[in-house]
C-alpha cells in the first residue's frame, strides 16, 4: 500500500520568529527546541498538496491548536554554521526521532500523547546577514515488516453515517486534550427493537437506560461510540463485532487509495502493542461544515506477521526498532534540504519599505488604478525651512512614499518648537538647541530608515538684509544653487516674505516645481508657482510675488515680538502642509507636470487625472472654515519670476543676487516695477491737481 508523505509548509512570519529567537535568546546555543506542527483536512486541496505540515509564525512560542487543525509534535535544531548543517548526521537525527515514537508505543506513553505518531524533526541554519534559511524536515515513519495489504476495496461511509460520526467525534473532542484529536477508536452501537441502544450487537437485550436517539440514528439503527486509543486495552471493543470496530486517524490526504503518512506509525502500534494482524482502519476525512459529504473511508488491512494469542501485558520493548525513513524530498524529488531566500522580506529596512508602500499600492487596486507611485517615490524634494511647515510637509511626503528629502535651515531648536514642530523633542532643545536641518533629517530616518534625508545649515540671502560676510554668503549661495539643481521640487517654507524671493527666482530660472505655503493667524495660502511656457506665455501661472507692486524688503524691522514670531492657530500649519503636499502630488500626476493649467472648482469631471483637479492657489480661512480656490497669471513686471529677473540671474548668478540684496531699489528697477510706481505716482499727482481745481471752483455754476 502507498502512503502520502508530508510536505513542509512554512509561513513567512516563522522565519522572523526563528531569527529573533536566535539573535536575542539562543545565540550560540543550538539545542533542539519544540516546534508545533499543524495539519488539517481540506477537501478542496489537490491530492498532491493536501498532506501539508504547516509551521505557523507562532510555532516556536505557542502551544494552542487553532480550531479545525490537528497537532504534530516537532523539534527543530537550528545550528550555528552552514558547515555544521551540512555535516550533521542526518540518519542519527532521524533514528533518534523515530526511537521516541517506538519507545512511546512500547511503554504506553503513546496513549497520553497520540500526536507523537505524527512526530517530525527539522534541521536548519539561518544566515541572518543574508537572510537565507537552509532547512530539511524529516517525518519519521517506522516500517512494518512484513507490510500491511488491503483485504477489500476501500468503502466510503454513507452521508448519514458520516454526519452522525462527525457529531460523535466533535462531542468526544470537547472532553479530551488536543493531543488526542488525531487518533481515536470508533464502534457502531446497535439499537434494540424498542429504539434504544443495545450496547454492542444487533437484537441484544437492552439493559441500561440510554439517552434518546436522534432521527438519523434511528434510521441507521446504530449510534457511534468514540474512545481514545487507550480504550483498546480497557475493553472498548469488548463484545463488539469485528466489522463494527474501527481504528481511526484524521487523514489530510485527498488521494483515494494513498492514506496519510501517519498511518504507518499507527499500524506499528496496532501490531507491536495490540498484537493484531488484521484491522479495520477508518480514514477520517470529514469536517463539521461538510459532515454529510461522506468523505471518510474504511479500509481493511491484513499482515502476514500474525501473532495469535499475543499477550498484551508483555510488549516487545526488547525488540530492535524496525527501519525508519522519512526525510523530505525537495521540489525536484531529490533527498536534500531546501533554501529559502527571504532577503526581500526579512531585512527590517526592506520590510519597512514594503509596509510604507502597502497603503499606496492598495489605492491602485480600485480607487485610483492610474496612480503613478514610482514618479512620486523618485521625485527629489528640497525643503527650504525645517520649522513648523517643514516638519509637517516632510511627514506628509513620507506618507506618499517620497524617498529623497533635503532640509535647508540655519536655525536651532528652541523650547517653544517641539509642541508645534513634530520632528523635534525636548532633548533637541538642550545644550543651546540642535541644528534644525540636521535634527529634522535624523528624525525622518528614525521614523523610516529607508528615506534618504539630509540637512544643510545655510542662510538664504534676502533683499533688505545687507550682506556682512561676502565670502560666506557667496559660498552658501553656491551650495544652495547646487541643491536646487540636484532636486526636482522646491518647497518654500520660510518665515519671511523676503526669504522666499531668491528660492522663487532660482526655481523659475531652473524650471523646477516650486511649492509655496505661507501662514497668517487664521489664514493660509498654498500655491504652486508657474513655469516658463514659451509656446503660450499668456497661460503661465504666477508666483508668490506676482501681485506685489513693490519688491520684498526687510519685513521684520521695527516689529514687536508678537509680529516677529509666527503667531498662528496651531492647526493652521498642519492643514496648509497637508494641502501643499496633496497639491504637489496632483501636479506630479498630470502629464504636463508643473505646466499643468489651473483647475477651477467647477471642473467636477477629472477622469483624465487620478486625483482630481489641480488648482493654482488655495486660500484658507479658519475663522469660517472655508477654502477659496483662485488662479493668477504671471506678471511681466514681477520682482521674482519676470523675464528680466530670471534672465539676469542666469547670466550673472551671485553678482546679481549680491546686488539685489545690498542695493535698495535695484530689483524694482530691473523688473519694471519702478516704472509702474513712477507711472502710478504721476497719475496720482494728476488726479490730485484736477481735484484741487474743482475745489477752487466749489459752488460755481458751469
Parallel, antiparallel, or unpaired for β 617-621 and 626-630? antiparallel
Closest CA to 229 of 253, 251, 246, 244: 246
pLDDT of residue 545: 94
**Candidate from 221-225, 500-504, 542-546, 649-653 with smallest mean pLDDT:** 221-225
Decide whether 148-191+216-305 matches 369-600+609-683 in CATH topology: no
- Reported as a pLDDT band with limits 50, 70 and 90, residue 696 is very low
pLDDT, tens only, 17-44: 998 888 878 888 899 999 999 999 998 8
Sign, Cα dihedral of 661, 666, 670, 672: positive
Task: Please tell me the distance from the alpha carbon of residue 44 to that of residue 176, in angstroms, as a whole number.
Answer: 28
pLDDT of residue 536: 74
Class of domain 7-141+338-345 as given by CATH: alpha beta
Among all residues, which ones are annotated catalytic?
565
Q: What number of CA atoms fall less than 13 Å from residue 313's CA on the CB side?
A: 0
Please determine, for residue 202, whether its predicted confidence score (pLDDT) is greater than 50: no
For 435, the grid coordinates are 541644528
For 442, the grid coordinates are 535624523
Q: If you search the block for the grid coordinates 467647477, which residue do you land on?
A: 602
Residue 164 CB coordination number (10 Å): 23
Percentage above 90 pLDDT, the chain? 69
pLDDT, tens only, 374-427: 999 999 999 999 999 999 999 999 999 999 999 999 999 999 999 999 999 999
Please determine, for residue 172, whether its predicted confidence score (pLDDT) is greater than 70: yes
- Reported as a pLDDT band with limits 50, 70 and 90, residue 343 is confident
What pTM was computed for the model? 0.59
Q: What number of CA atoms fall less than 13 Å from residue 414's CA on the CB side?
A: 6
Judge contact between 81 and 125, C-beta under 8 A. Answer: yes
Please determine, for residue 537, whether its predicted confidence score (pLDDT) is greater than 80: no
- Reported as a pLDDT band with limits 50, 70 and 90, residue 566 is low
pLDDT, tens only, 152-167: 889 998 888 889 999 9
**Candidate from 124-128, 452-456, 480-484, 555-559 with smallest mean pLDDT:** 555-559
Decide if domain 148-191+216-305 falls under CATH 3.40.50.670. Answer: no
Q: If you search the block for the grid coordinates 525508519, which residue do you land on?
A: 324
For the chain, the structural domain boundaries read 7-141+338-345, 148-191+216-305, 369-600+609-683
The CATH code of domain 369-600+609-683 reads 3.40.50.720
Amino acid at each position: 500500500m502507498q502512503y502520502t508523505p508530508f510536505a513542509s509548509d512554512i509561513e513567512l512570519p516563522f522565519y522572523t520568529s526563528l531569527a529573533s529567537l536566535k539573535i536575542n535568546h539562543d545565540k550560540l546555543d543550538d539545542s533542539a527546541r519544540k516546534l508545533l506542527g499543524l495539519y488539517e483536512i481540506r477537501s478542496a486541496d489537490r491530492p498532491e498538496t493536501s498532506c501539508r505540515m504547516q509551521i505557523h509564525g507562532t510555532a516556536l512560542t505557542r502551544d494552542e491548536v487553532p480550531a479545525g487543525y490537528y497537532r504534530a509534535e516537532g523539534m527543530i535544531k537550528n545550528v550555528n554554521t552552514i558547515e555544521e548543517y551540512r555535516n550533521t548526521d542526518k540518519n542519527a537525527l532521524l533514528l533518534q526521532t523515530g526511537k521516541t515514537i517506538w519507545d512511546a508505543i512500547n511503554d504506553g506513553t503513546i496513549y497520553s500523547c497520540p500526536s507523537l505518531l505524527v512526530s517530525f524533526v527539522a534541521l536548519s541554519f539561518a544566515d541572518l546577514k543574508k537572510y537565507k534559511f537552509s532547512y530539511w524536515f524529516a517525518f519519521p515513519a517506522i516500517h512494518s515488516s512484513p507490510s500491511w495489504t488491503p483485504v477489500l476495496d476501500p468503502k466510503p461511509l454513507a452521508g448519514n453515517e458520516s454526519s452522525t460520526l462527525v457529531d460523535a467525534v466533535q462531542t468526544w473532542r470537547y472532553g479530551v486534550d488536543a493531543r488526542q484529536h488525531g487518533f481515536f477508536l470508533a464502534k457502531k452501537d446497535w439499537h434494540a427493537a424498542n429504539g434504544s441502544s443495545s450496547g454492542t450487537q444487533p437484537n441484544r437485550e437492552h439493559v441500561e437506560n440510554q439517552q434518546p436517539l436522534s432521527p438519523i440514528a434511528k434510521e441507521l439503527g446504530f449510534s457511534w461510540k468514540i474512545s481514545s486509543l487507550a480504550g483498546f486495552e480497557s475493553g472498548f471493543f469488548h463484545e463488539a463485532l469485528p466489522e463494527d470496530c474501527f481504528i481511526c486517524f484524521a487523514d489530510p490526504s485527498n488521494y483515494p487509495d494513498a492514506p496519510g503518512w501517519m498511518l504507518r506509525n499507527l499500524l506499528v502500534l496496532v501490531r507491536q502493542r495490540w498484537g493484531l494482524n488484521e484491522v479495520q482502519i477508518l480514514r477520517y476525512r470529514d469536517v463539521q461544515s461538510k459532515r454529510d459529504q461522506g468523505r471518510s473511508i474504511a479500509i481493511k488491512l491484513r499482515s502476514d506477521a500474525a501473532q495469535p494469542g499475543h499477550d498484551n501485558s508483555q510488549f516487545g520493548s526488547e525488540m530492535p526498532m524496525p527501519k525508519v525513513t522519512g526525510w523530505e524530498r525537495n521540489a525536484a524529488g531529490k533527498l536534500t534540504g531546501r533554501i529559502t531566500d527571504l532577503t526581500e522580506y526579512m531585512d527590517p529596512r526592506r520590510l519597512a519599505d514594503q509596509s510604507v508602500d502597502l497603503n499606496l499600492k492598495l489605492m491602485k487596486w480600485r480607487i485610483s488604478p492610474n496612480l503613478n507611485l514610482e514618479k512620486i517615490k523618485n521625485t527629489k524634494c528640497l525643503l527650504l525651512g525645517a520649522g513648523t511647515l517643514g516638519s509637517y510637509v516632510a511627514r506628509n511626503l513620507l506618507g506618499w512614499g517620497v524617498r529623497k528629502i533635503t532640509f535647508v535651515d540655519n536655525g536651532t531648536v528652541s523650547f517653544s518648537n517641539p509642541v508645534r514642530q513634530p520632528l523635534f523633542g525636548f532633548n533637541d532643545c538642550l545644550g543651546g538647541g540642535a541644528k534644525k536641518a540636521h535634527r529634522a533629517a535624523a528624525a525622518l530616518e528614525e521614523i523610516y530608515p529607508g528615506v534618504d534625508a539630509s540637512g544643510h545649515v545655510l542662510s538664504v540671502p534676502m533683499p533688505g538684509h545687507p550682506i556682512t560676510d561676502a565670502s560666506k554668503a557667496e559660498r552658501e549661495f553656491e551650495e544652495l544653487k547646487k541643491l536646487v539643481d540636484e532636486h526636482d521640487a522646491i518647497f518654500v517654507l520660510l518665515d519671511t516674505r523676503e526669504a522666499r524671493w531668491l528660492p522663487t527666482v532660482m526655481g523659475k530660472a531652473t524650471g523646477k516645481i516650486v511649492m509655496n505655503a505661507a501662514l497668517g493667524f487664521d489664514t493660509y495660502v498654498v500655491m504652486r508657482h508657474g513655469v516658463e511656457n514659451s509656446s503660450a506665455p499668456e497661460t503661465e501661472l504666477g508666483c508668490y510675488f506676482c501681485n506685489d507692486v513693490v519688491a520684498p524688503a526687510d519685513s521684520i524691522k521695527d516689529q514687536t515680538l508678537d509680529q516677529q514670531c509666527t503667531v498662528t492657530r496651531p492647526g493652521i500649519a498642519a492643514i496648509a502642509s497637508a494641502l501643499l503636499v496633496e497639491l504637489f502630488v496632483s501636479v506630479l500626476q498630470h502629464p504636463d507636470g508643473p505646466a499643468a493649467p489651473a483647475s477651477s472648482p467647477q471642473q467636477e469631471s477629472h477622469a483624465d487625472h487620478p486625483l482630481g483637479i489641480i488648482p493654482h492657489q488655495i486660500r484658507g480661512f479658519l475663522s469660517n472654515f472655508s477654502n477659496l480656490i483662485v488662479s493668477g497669471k504671471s506678471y511681466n513686471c514681477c520682482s521674482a519670476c519676470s523675464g528680466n529677473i530670471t534672465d539676469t540671474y542666469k547670466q550673472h548668478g551671485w553678482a546679481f543676487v549680491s546686488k539685489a540684496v545690498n542695493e535698495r531699489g535695484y530689483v524694482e528697477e530691473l523688473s519694471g516695477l519702478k516704472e509702474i510706481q513712477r507711472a502710478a505716482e504721476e497719475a496720482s499727482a494728476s488726479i490730485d491737481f484736477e481735484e484741487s481745481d474743482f475745489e477752487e471752483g466749489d459752488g460755481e455754476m458751469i
